[in-house]
Amino acid sequence: MCGIVGLYLKNDALQPRLGAMLAGMLITMSDRGPDSAGIAIYGTPGAGDKVTLQSDDPAAFAGLAEAMGAALGAGVTVRIVATHAVVTVPDGRAPEAAAWAEARGLRVMGTGAAMEIFKETGSPRAVAERFGLAGMAGTHGIGHTRMATESAVTTLGAHPFSTAADQCLVHNGSLSNHNAMRRRLARKGFRTRTENDTEVAAAYISSRIAGGESLGQALEGTLADLDGFFTFVTGTRTGFGVVRDPIACKPAVMAETGDYVAFASEYRALVDLPGIADARVWEPEPATVYFWER
């Protein structure tokens, strides 16, 4: 089942409202996925790179800035958001900071100059409220409500999945060749942390982009190399993309105005967006890639 939402803003004046609009969309999809939920928010890059960390016990973040700063030999700042901490480190030091944090039992949700990922078990409403999603600003974002069918209900099993800097993916569906693809990607150095097939798809897209392809080309590749049924919505530092498998058995709807592009598993998640009555609304075609980039 599961529910997907995504919002890509073309009008910068709407950036302070991104979180509020996404929160409404995410909560509307609650009955498609009551087990866990997550969102990725993209903002304008600032000084330094960001590492989003998670711990079931937020006390683990005590003294984090000082300890990581001493290990890196550089300034580190920490912003705690419920069970997550957004750590800002000097440019280029995110991989080192992530490895340091993992060695100390902290979970890495994602890294990048623009992306922050927040995900937890629980209802979408509870997750959105826990992280203060309605108060977040940004340029674009994607979210997911999960009904677990093939793996455990855990924080790491929740979407979005990120396998490269400023890249993440949410998925509705199931892949049949993900274990073979996981082994293939591991040989290329792309690590996955869970048994979830969505993480494999995220790593696949990351590997294509790392090889020099555009977001659109990477999404095209999923149609040839990933077997199963799927709707993918992906985010990058500058882009937002959607693709459905050739059968397209999972529901999907898109809307576009001069201000934004929106995606949802069902139209009811879009009805409160500004200007939706005048939007171009359509069902994305099977085996067709849609993407927008800044």
pLDDT score of 168 = 97
Best-predicted range by mean pLDDT (153-157, 194-198, 227-231): 227-231
Query: How big is the chain, counted in residues?
Result: 294
pLDDT classification of 294: cutoffs 50, 70, 90: confident
pLDDT in tens, 123-148: 999 999 999 999 999 999 999 999 88
DSSP β-bridge partners for residue 244? 231
pLDDT score of 258 = 97
Domain 3-44+120-293 has CATH 3.40.190.10: no
Lowest mean pLDDT among 70-84, 138-152, 230-244, 250-264: 138-152
Which tokens belong to 28? 């509307």
pLDDT score of 152 = 80
Q: What is the mean pLDDT of residues 216-226?
A: 96
**How many angstroms separate the CA atoms of 222 and 216, rounded?**
10
Domain 46-113 has CATH 3.30.70: yes
Ramachandran class of 245: left when φ > 0, alpha when ψ lies in -120 to 50, beta otherwise: beta
pLDDT score of 94 = 97
pLDDT classification of 41: cutoffs 50, 70, 90: very high
Q: What is the mean pLDDT of residues 15-31?
A: 98
Residues with catalytic function: 2
The CA–CA distances, whole Å, from 28 to 58, 113, 205, 251, 270 equal 28, 30, 28, 15, 9
Lowest mean pLDDT among 56-60, 108-112, 153-157: 153-157
pLDDT in tens, 145-189: 998 876 788 898 999 999 999 999 999 999 999 999 999 999 988
pLDDT score of 247 = 94
Q: What is the mean pLDDT of residues 95-110?
A: 96
**Contact present, 11 and 260 (Cβ < 8 Å):** yes
pLDDT score of 159 = 96
Between 236 and 193, residue with greater pLDDT: 236
**What are the strands of the beta sheet with 253-256, ordered from one edge?**
115-121, 36-42, 140-146, 3-9, 260-264, 253-256, 280-282
pLDDT in tens, 262-289: 999 999 999 999 999 999 999 999 999 9
pLDDT score of 1 = 77
The domain spans of the chain are: 3-44+120-293, 46-113
Give the percent of the chain with pLDDT over 70: 100
Q: What is the mean pLDDT of residues 21-37?
A: 96
